[in-house]
């Protein structure tokens, strides 16, 4: 029961973090591109790699701690469904190049940032 409550609290924190980061990025970027979603997804990828490397590899955290962090916080922070929806919208608007660049950019950078987070955590 404790893990469920902590997972819910971590999810709330992740959702609030997502909202804050998204608003900040949109305000700074001032564009109609999905940069806020990209920023949250890429940050989430980096944090996943870093925290997995620390909690799983370095400190051998319990399954409950990993559930709270990865399912609760990071599950609420990252926004893959929004990412997919925004790309479908770009394609529907005929902005195929923008959609393709967005998909490739977030995926390539996402993989690289997970690897960077793991490397930093393990060294």
What gap in Å lies between CA 78 and CA 91, rounded to an integer? 22
* Residue 78 assigned as binding residue: yes
| Beta carbons within 8 Å of 90's beta carbon, 6+ residues apart | 34, 96, 98, 99, 102
Residue 68 CA to residue 45 CA, distance in Å, equals 16
Count CA within 13 A, CB hemisphere, residue 15: 7
Query: How far, in whole angstroms, is CA 121 from its chain's centroid?
Result: 18
Binding-site residues from annotation for Na(+): 75, 78
What are the binding residues? Answer: 75, 78
């Amino acid at each position: 029961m404790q893990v469920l409550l902590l997972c819910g609290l971590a999810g709330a924190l992740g959702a609030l973090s997502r909202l804050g980061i998204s608003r900040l990025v949109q305000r700074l970027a001032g564009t109609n591109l999905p940069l806020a979603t990209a920023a949250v997804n890429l940050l989430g990828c980096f944090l996943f790699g870093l925290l997995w490397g620390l909690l799983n590899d370095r400190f051998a955290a319990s399954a409950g701690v990993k559930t709270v962090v990865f399912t609760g916080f990071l599950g609420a922070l990252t926004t893959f469904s929004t990412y997919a929806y925004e790309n479908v919208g770009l394609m529907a608007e005929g902005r195929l190049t923008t959609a393709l660049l967005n998909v490739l950019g977030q995926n390539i950078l996402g993989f690289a940032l997970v690897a960077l987070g793991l490397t930093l955590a393990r060294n």
